[in-house]
Structure 1
Amino acid sequence: MISAGEFRNGVTMEYEGSPFVILEFQHVKPGKGAAFVRTKIRNLKTGAVLEKTFRPNEKMPRAHIERQDMQYLYSDGDLFHFMNTETFDQIAVNASDVGDALKFVKENDTVKILSYEGQVFGIEPDLFVELEITETEPGFAGNTAQGATKPAILETGAQVQVPLFINQNEVIKIDTRTGEYLGRAKD
């Protein structure tokens, strides 16, 4: 059990029968009345974000999320196939459970499969990946005084914004949480 007074960003809990993760929290002590905890929480199954307030002594059970390393094999229509690299067991996950999580993941890359009570609800790719640019317009030095960007298509099909000096067939580093260009990959 966890009390609302112990809330921290990233803590998982069960609320109204579903697993939630705390995105933001704030302990509020008004001049009059009792203190409370204002939170922004995300439902791990549906992705819905809620704003809730709790009394600091309110208790709820922790949600135990299982994270398992698996290798992404291939997609087959609305199913994405993964393999446990230790036991070689394979599972298929619906596209609705994957969401946009695989837009920076190539076949044979390792990801974390997230499950709650045996039900897969999400995928966590590595935080930073190196991918090749397959399509972008040529850039010209001196086009602008400040860091202008242009669209680039990556080998996974995802589109990101890159600086003008980046060319096709270059390998770049991407932050998978934000989709931001971080720099050229080091050889």
Structure 2
Amino acid sequence: MPKINGNEIRPGNVLEHNDGLWAAVKVEHVKPGKGGAFAQVEMKNLRNGSKLNERFRSADKVERVRLEQKDMQFLYETDGMLVFMDTETYDQVELPADILGDRRPFLQDGMTIVVEFYESEALNATLPQKVTCQVTETEPVVKGQTAANSFKPAILDNGVKVMVPPFIAQDEMIVVNTETMEYSERA
């Protein structure tokens, strides 16, 4: 595996550190008045979810890990575990439901998502960037309300609240960006 310098760490990099696999969540480069510069890295353990703040100087060498990505289909949820299936080999993989965090409501039956593996161990799952949802509840359309940047609250079929433009009506299908959890466009 390639070793990188401490100042080359970027958010999203997966590092092998302290006998564990860690994802860099936030990286801040600090240049103090006295002493050498360093990278302050907030990391999250991919196996147990614990967090760690670590300083890396540019001379420090860190092991960067490449994760294999596979498209897998979501089957069902059981006892707090999400079950995914490889569409080519039909192998099934279980991941804890809290791995998706607050994006969990956007996971739909049969949805294809990307699961990241280290050797044969499933570590992480990411949803597609855009998901289509139905608006179940929102205020009615008001004629003449065309002011710039005016949004109204809407509740989607999965229970998530998002802000939508005034022209979106109830029972309409919209596309939501799962990274920002915001309205993107009409479906």
TM-score of the superposition, structure 2-length normalised? 0.81
Residue-by-residue CA offset, 1:73-126 (whole Å, 9 max, x unaligned):
222342322111101222333323343343222211100112345433331011
Pair 1:47–1:138, CA change in 2 (3 A): farther
Residue in 2 aligned with 1:54?
Answer: 56
Residue-by-residue CA offset, 1:109-146 (whole Å, 9 max, x unaligned):
10011234543333101112222223333232445845
Q: How far apart, in 2, do the equivalents of 1:84 and 1:32 lie?
A: 53
Unaligned runs of 5+ in 1: none
Q: How far apart, in 2, do the equivalents of 1:143 and 1:47 lie?
A: 46
The equivalent position to 2:135 in structure 1, one of 129, 133, 136, is 133
Q: How far apart, in 1, do the equivalents of 2:101 and 2:28 lie?
A: 29
Q: Which amino acid aligns with 2:173?
A: V
Q: How far apart, in 2, do the equivalents of 1:142 and 1:14 lie?
A: 57
Mapping of residues 1-80 of structure 1, within 5 Å: 1-80=3-82
Q: How far apart, in 1, do the equivalents of 2:40 and 2:148 lie?
A: 40
Residue in 1 aligned with 2:125?
Answer: 123
CA contact (8 A) 1:13 1:61 kept: yes
CA contact (8 A) 1:141 1:164 kept: no
Q: Greater CA deviation, 34-43 or 164-173? A: 34-43
Q: How far apart, in 1, do the equivalents of 2:95 and 2:23 lie?
A: 21
CA contact (8 A) 1:20 1:63 kept: no
Q: How far apart, in 2, do the equivalents of 1:29 and 1:93 lie?
A: 40
Residue in 1 aligned with 2:83?
Answer: 81
How large is the Cα RMSD of the aligned pairs? 2.6
Following superposition, the deviation at residue 14 of structure 1 comes to 1.5
Asked if 1:168 is matched to 2:165, the reply is: no
Pair 1:65–1:156, CA change in 2 (3 A): same
Q: How far apart, in 1, do the equivalents of 2:14 and 2:94 lie?
A: 25
Q: How far apart, in 2, do the equivalents of 1:101 and 1:166 lie?
A: 22
Identity %: 38
CA contact (8 A) 1:66 1:115 kept: yes
Following superposition, the deviation at residue 71 of structure 1 comes to 0.6
Q: Which amino acid aligns with 2:19?
A: G
Unaligned runs of 5+ in 2: none
Q: How far apart, in 1, do the equivalents of 2:96 and 2:39 lie?
A: 36
Q: Which amino acid aligns with 2:60?
A: E
Following superposition, the deviation at residue 4 of structure 1 comes to 0.5
Q: Which amino acid aligns with 1:10?
A: G
